[in-house]
Structure 1
């Protein structure tokens, strides 16, 4: 038995609908600016004819389950919600074609990519990595996983409210790069693995939240997600 200097962290995992087994999570990938209206509101329009998707990652330790209360993070005054469809891979693949991308899909969830927006913008405008704006403790919220092996979701309403007030409302069919294209492109850079979780991008309407706020999100055909913003850390 291996002896460690201190207790290693538990394996990140998510509940799976219809079973007591949990899905172990490997890596967290995020697609940036994948809805035209959101790209515009961020001041960075996307031209798919000349651009490819781009990604950032977060540590699996940032993953928390739907229903959690997450502390308002330190060093920010502009903490934003971003509602997303999440894809969980159940098989690995490298240099996968778009036509075969569905074979890697295990299921789906609803996700929140919580962001220190003020820090992200400062870092972005200086050409620096977004780490302090994005890789935030408790910032990768996800619902239970709904098994849909081999199914590619091409449309469905995606929406979010804060304290019951509508903030985000769009449809998965407005993704700039669809799920097949995302998986195929990402597999050119990484040997994708079972347990890789892909947050596919957020529609327009992102905005700030404050301690005491309740965030509710929904993806048609997948389910819902809840997060409570706790007191400042």
Structure 2
């Protein structure tokens, strides 16, 4: 019995491995984006359309990232286990994104580790705040400055109303004051005179009391001095 050469055995083994490898199936997977195109300018809600299919299809994922991002960070948009052929793949809301360049990525998985992908680069997102200058242009044309002239005549109309023709009204006020018990000028003078008289009487009374107290203290001191000087028996 003749043995096969080592090279022939290796060739047969390679054919077997290639026949059982899923790479050939992976080569038939399709990941295509028809819209938006590279370099397109988008804003608001963007529909991403294309094809994501494969004979051994597992799922597809759509993500976006910043153009030329050194960190390679991707933000997932949508994932589905249903293949799509020339239809909408995902919806991309760009309203909250900063204006700039972005890149889209579509991956079609044939297994957990095998996939094909396509990148759409140079997509420029336009900020939703761009139409702001139209609002600022409308601001100077607003008729707001016309309102102050209409307000100026109103104070002039109120001024004659404040002229107060009923000047005799204050005369009614003192009458009610008298009824409430307020004194007349004569009564006020009398009350002041009474206060002055009472004050004078109080001063005189105080002076008399202090005088008597002084006399008492003087007599007491004289008696004590006499008592000390009297001859002792």
TM-score normalised by length of structure 1 = 0.25
TM-score normalised by length of structure 2 = 0.25
Structure with bigger gyration radius: 2
Instruction: Using CA pairs under 8 Å that are at least 6 residues apart, name the structure with larger relative contact order, 1 or 2.
Output: 1
Q: Which has the higher helix share?
A: 2
